[in-house]
């Protein structure tokens, strides 16, 4: 299982993207583009367990870490994603320290947490169960999302929960929660993003953020973010197709 910790823990900015298609060939194509990691979106895309498995199989040869954003902070969703072999999980809509504790608990085996022991595919279908179980608590990434005013209010408490490996800021939901829906560039939204980065520095927790363009990704890298996401599989497809059509038709 590729270790996402290594990608964000050595001081290099890690650039990732979102996978939303359920067709494994799409993920296979994306895996050859040069990104450092991917997040498979199980919150806003039709990605269930079977689809996640297909994506994991399709991208295995690339050795690129795949995180699974689960649809909710629920034990079955978290454990299933990890047992299928995801490098970690991204938990959306985190609001309180109790939410964080719940997420961490279901990412960790006892005595550190509550995760049940049945890592079938993650352990090469039982061939390396002992080895996987022994190292999983350190290797599996528990990434929480900060995207609400509730999370901002208790940010120090959220990041103080033992076992949080990193944070992904969701600017779209954050802007909406702050009363600026659709205005990701609003000064209050930017202030909240930078405050999260600073609190993360103080807590020793790597902070990542969604970015809307290569220029913005470079800016976030220069600001000190540990990782960022750029684009989606469907977005890249649509942009390339539209540019090709425009190149032929011009102003016709």
CATH value of 4-242 in 3.90.1420.10, 3.60.21.10, 3.20.20.60, 3.40.50.300: 3.20.20.60
For 60, residues 6+ apart whose C-beta sits below 8 A from its C-beta are none
For 145, residues 6+ apart whose C-beta sits below 8 A from its C-beta are 90, 91, 92, 93, 94, 167, 168, 169, 170
The answer to whether 82 touches 53, Cβ cutoff 8 Å, is: no
Which whole number is the average pLDDT over 74-99?
97
Torsion region of 204: left, alpha or beta (phi above 0 gives left; psi -120 to 50 gives alpha)? left
- The confidence score (pLDDT) of residue 12 equals 85
Alpha-carbon separation of residue 63 from 51, 54, 97, 241 (angstroms): 19, 15, 33, 28
Confidence label for 252 from pLDDT (cuts 50, 70 and 90): low
Read off φ and ψ for residue 213, nearest 5 degrees: -165, 160
Which whole number is the average pLDDT over 24-44?
96
Confidence label for 1 from pLDDT (cuts 50, 70 and 90): low
Number of Cβ within 10 Å of residue 199's Cβ equals: 19
Alpha helices in 162-204 (DSSP H): 171-177, 187-203
- The confidence score (pLDDT) of residue 78 equals 98
pLDDT at 91 over 80: yes
Q: What is the DSSP letter of 67?
A: E
Longest dimension (CA), the chain: 67
Confidence label for 6 from pLDDT (cuts 50, 70 and 90): confident
Q: What percent of the chain has pLDDT over 90?
A: 93
- The confidence score (pLDDT) of residue 94 equals 97
Catalytic residues: 44
Average pLDDT, the chain: 95
pLDDT at 14 over 80: yes
- The confidence score (pLDDT) of residue 11 equals 77
SS3 call for 34: coil
Give per-residue pLDDT as tens, 214-249: 999 999 999 999 999 999 999 999 999 999 999 999
Give per-residue pLDDT as tens, 99-118: 999 999 999 999 999 999 99
Give per-residue pLDDT as tens, 134-181: 999 999 999 999 999 999 999 999 999 999 999 999 999 999 999 999
């Amino acid at each position: 299982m590729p270790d996402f910790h290594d990608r964000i823990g050595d001081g290099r900015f890690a650039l990732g993207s979102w996978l939303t298609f359920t067709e494994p060939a799409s993920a296979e194509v994306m895996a050859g583009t040069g990104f450092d990691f991917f997040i498979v979106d199980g919150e806003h895309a039709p990605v269930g367990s079977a689809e996640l498995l297909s994506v994991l199989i399709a991208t295995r040869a690339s050795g690129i870490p795949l995180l699974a954003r689960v649809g909710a902070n629920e034990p079955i969703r978290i454990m299933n994603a990890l047992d299928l072999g995801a490098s970690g999980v991204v938990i959306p809509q985190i609001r309180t320290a109790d939410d964080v504790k719940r997420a961490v608990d279901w990412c960790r085996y006892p005595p550190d947490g509550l995760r049940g022991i049945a890592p079938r595919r993650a352990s090469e279908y039982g061939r390396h169960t002992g080895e996987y179980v022994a190292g999983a608590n350190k290797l599996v990434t528990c990434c929480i999302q900060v995207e609400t005013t509730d999370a901002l209010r208790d940010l120090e408490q959220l990041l103080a929960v033992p076992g949080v490996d990193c944070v992904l800021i969701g600017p779209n939901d954050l802007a909406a929660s702050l009363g600026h829906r659709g205005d990701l560039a609003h000064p209050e939204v930017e202030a909240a993003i930078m405050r999260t980065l600073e609190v993360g520095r103080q807590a020793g927790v790597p902070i990542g953020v969604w970015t809307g363009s290569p220029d913005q990704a470079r800016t976030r890298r220069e600001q000190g973010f540990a990782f960022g996401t750029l684009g989606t599989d469907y977005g890249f497809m649509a942009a390339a197709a539209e540019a090709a059509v425009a190149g032929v038709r011009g102003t016709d």
